[in-house]
Every structure is written in structure tokens, then in C-alpha cells.
């Protein structure tokens, strides 16, 4: 089974990259499942019903989230009624929504997609290690293939979680920092790992935002509006191959695909 994970989709440019490139990559590489982190898809902060639908109609099967989960009030509709949308699993049990979604398709094994959030420099949720330690055995009863989006600031948290879950899940991929790392590997137990998938959107930016306001903010310590940038748009992520029978990863490859300039111009003129 081939799984494409798309790193944090930022604003309209990120959604456009997914719309153009995700179907192309699915056909080109024979991808069976596409997952995307969509927590920054609405204007660069949060997610709405319309941005989620746009991502789904672009070919994405499941959307994960993170610490910007609550930035848009419409997220409550997604949490309440969209089974393909996943929030971090380590929120308290009474929180709306769910931390795992299951993908099922004809002639393919069932796949569990789990979202979990770190705690270093992040909101203080339940301990992600203890939550995953208790939940993964239950999830394994439902699916042999388990993909984990570890949304965290600290690389050490991501690596530690990946090592703890080695042999229990198919992949642990980090999100949140928006900087694609070069440490892709398969751990001894068969778990594919990457510290951060990067972000999908304008790379001529500061993590997807216009450069000048960010520099002004750090120079003056005064508020600035951080608008989404627009230049040099890429789809960033990772492609993972997994054995259907065992759930063990057999290959991992970073993805960095440019949105063709022609596509960008056409989109702006339409």
C-alpha cells in the first residue's frame, strides 16, 4: 500500500497546490491513500467547512489537525459531523470529535490515521506518550496499518514517540514546524519516520507568511498582520510504502513538488 502524507496546507496557495498536484501524484505513483494536515488551510490559521471540502474534493481522504484546531469557529461542525477529520487524540475524552479515523477501500486493508499533539511549547494536553501507549493496542485490533501525525514543536518529542511506537504502527510523521527535515528512515521494528513533512504552500515566505511583516514584528516588537504569501508554491510531504499483510513500512521518500508557474498564473486569472 502506498500512502501520501501532505504537510501542513497553508491558505489558498496550499489548497491550490493540493488541488493541482494531489490527483497528478496519485495517478503517477499509484497512491492508495492521501492524508493531509489541514489546520492552516483557512487563511493560514485554522480550518473551515469550505476549506476542508475543497481539500477533500482534491482527492485527500483524511485531514488531520493540530494546535490551530480552534482558530475558526466552523471547526465545531467538522468535529461534530465529519468522520474524515481528525483532531489530536490526547484532548480530554469529552472533547468533540475524534483522534483516529479509519480508511476503508475495496481490495485494500483497513488503515487507521491517528493525530496526536506534543506538549513542549504547545497547549498542555494530556500526555501524548501515555495516551498513545493506551490507545494504540485498541486501534491495532481494528487495523494493521496505522499512520500517526505527530503535531509537535520539539523534535525530541517526535523522535521519542516514533521510537516508543516502533513495531506497533506503520509510520510516525511530524508536523507543525513547517520545515521539511531530512531524517527519513525506517526504524528496526518497521515503523517509517520523518521529523517534519514540511508545509504545502508559498515557500518564498516565513513559514508561509509574507516576509516583511514578520521581520518588522521581530525588529519592533509591535503587532503586524501576518498575511499568507504567494510565491514559489510547493506541495511538501512524504510517500510511504507499507506491507498490506504486516503493516510494516518498506520504503519512505520525502516529497517536494512545485506547482507549475503556468497553473499558478491560470488560477490567478480565473
d(CA 106, CA 89) in angstroms, rounded, equals 27
Which tens digit of pLDDT belongs to each residue from 15-62?
Answer: 999 999 999 999 999 999 999 999 999 999 999 999 999 999 999 999
Does residue 246 have a pLDDT over 50?
A: yes
178 is catalytic: no
- Here the cell at position 50 is 469550505
**Domain of residue 244, residue span:** 2-269
Which tens digit of pLDDT belongs to each residue from 61-120?
Answer: 999 999 999 999 999 999 999 999 999 999 999 999 999 999 999 999 999 999 999 999
Q: Which long-range contacts (CB under 8 A, 24 or more apart) does 240-244 make?
A: 240/2, 240/3, 240/5, 240/147, 240/170, 240/171, 240/173, 240/192, 241/1, 241/2, 241/3, 242/1, 242/2, 242/3, 242/145, 242/170, 242/171, 242/192, 243/1, 244/1, 244/108, 244/109, 244/144, 244/145
Number of domains the chain is built from:
1
What is residue 253's three-state secondary structure? strand
Half-sphere exposure of 5 (CA within 13 A, CB side): 33
- Decide: pTM greater than 0.85: yes
Which helix (H) or strand (E) element contains residue 50? Answer: helix 49-57
- Here the cell at position 222 is 509591535
d(CA 231, CA 201) in angstroms, rounded, equals 9
How far is CA 72 from each of CA 22, 52, 54, 161, rounded to the nearest angstrom? Answer: 25, 12, 16, 29
| Average pLDDT over all residues of the chain | 95
Q: Please answer whether residues 201 and 11 qualify as being in contact, where contact means their C-beta atoms are separated by less than 8 angstroms.
A: yes
Which helix (H) or strand (E) element contains residue 152? Answer: none
Give the dihedral sign, CA 221/222/228/233: negative
> According to DSSP H, which parts of 67-197 are helical?
75-81, 128-140, 155-164
Instruction: Report the CATH number at residue 246.
Output: 3.60.21.10
d(CA 65, CA 67) in angstroms, rounded, equals 7
pLDDT band at 261 (very low <50, low <70, confident <90, very high): confident
Amino acid at each position: 500500500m502506498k500512502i501520501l502524507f501532505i504537510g501542513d496546507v497553508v491558505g489558498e496557495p496550499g489548497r491550490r497546490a493540493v488541488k493541482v498536484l494531489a490527483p497528478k501524484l496519485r495517478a503517477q505513483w499509484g497512491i492508495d491513500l492521501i492524508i493531509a494536515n489541514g489546520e492552516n488551510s483557512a487563511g493560514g490559521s485554522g480550518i473551515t467547512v469550505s476549506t476542508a471540502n475543497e481539500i477533500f474534493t482534491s482527492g485527500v481522504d483524511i485531514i488531520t489537525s493540530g494546535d490551530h484546531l480552534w482558530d475558526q469557529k466552523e471547526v465545531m461542525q467538522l468535529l461534530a459531523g465529519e468522520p474524515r477529520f481528525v483532531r489530536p487524540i490526547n484532548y480530554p475524552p469529552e472533547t468533540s470529535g475524534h483522534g483516529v479515523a479509519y480508511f476503508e477501500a475495496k481490495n485494500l486493508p483497513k488503515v487507521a490515521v491517528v493525530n496526536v499533539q506534543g506538549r513542549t511549547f504547545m497547549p498542555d494536553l494530556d500526555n501524548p506518550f501515555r495516551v498513545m501507549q493506551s490507545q494504540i493496542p485498541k486501534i491495532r485490533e481494528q487495523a494493521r496499518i496505522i499512520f500517526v501525525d505527530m503535531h509537535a514543536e520539539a523534535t525530541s518529542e517526535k523522535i521519542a514517540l516514533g521510537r516508543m511506537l516502533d513495531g506497533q504502527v506503520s509510520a510516525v510523521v511530524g508536523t507543525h514546524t513547517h520545515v521539511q527535515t531530512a531524517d527519513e528512515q525506517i526504524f528496526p521494528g518497521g515503523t517509517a519516520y520523518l521529523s517534519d513533512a514540511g508545509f504545502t504552500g508559498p515557500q518564498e515566505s516565513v513559514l508561509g507568511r509574507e516576509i516583511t511583516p514578520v521581520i518588522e514584528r521581530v525588529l519592533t516588537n509591535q503587532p503586524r498582520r501576518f498575511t499568507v504569501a504567494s510565491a514559489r508554491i510547493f506541495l511538501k510531504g512524504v510517500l510511504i510504502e507499507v506491507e498490506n499483510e504486516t503493516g510494516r513500512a518498506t520504503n519512505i521518500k520525502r516529497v517536494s513538488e512545485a506547482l507549475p508557474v503556468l497553473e499558478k498564473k491560470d488560477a490567478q486569472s480565473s
